Structure 1
């Protein structure tokens, strides 16, 4: 199994919630990721590319492979911070 996903990583749940609200109000995920994400994927608009089970930390893995597609999930807490995750494809 593999999936196509993108995410935004920030330090606090409050930052993640504020960004999630901005996404809900129509702001572009890739623009917000480039501006706010602490992950190296920020350069690609948060694009994680093709992901396979076990590649990501367990909590993010569960979101990518178990939660509904095309929905912004989070904030999801990991050892790195708080993530907003969106999955486009799973198969």
Structure 2
């Protein structure tokens, strides 16, 4: 069965997500931004979602993790929880 390792930052608005993505593009550390800004409990762990399998997360995030390129930051991705920036760093 497929699995991946991913982390994310969850915020309430698209504008917040875009501003954080710009900071990431300039070299800010993903884990530090996740700890400071993410509204998800995973933010305390730098946004780390651990090992993820298809169907474990909401469909919009699942699609990013299992269908988009690895080692890139994707987003903003909208879900019922808000806007996510998703970094997939391993997938098999």
Gapped runs of 5+ residues in structure 2? none
Gapped runs of 5+ residues in structure 1? none
Q: Give the TM-score, by structure 2 length.
A: 0.98
Q: Over the residues paired in the alignment, what is the CA RMSD in angstroms? A: 0.3
Q: Give the TM-score, by structure 1 length.
A: 0.99
CA offset at residue 66 of structure 1? 0.3
Moved over 2 A (4+): none
CA offset at residue 52 of structure 1? 0.3
Match of 1:90 in 2: 91
Match of 2:56 in 1: 55
User: How many aligned positions are there?
Assistant: 91
CA offset at residue 33 of structure 1? 0.1
Deviations 1:8-38 (A, max 9, x none): 0000000000000000000000000000000
Q: Distance in 2 between matches of 1:80 and 1:33?
A: 15
Match of 1:27 in 2: 28
Q: Distance in 1 between matches of 2:5 and 2:68?
A: 13
Match of 2:3 in 1: 2
Q: Distance in 2 between matches of 1:22 and 1:59?
A: 23
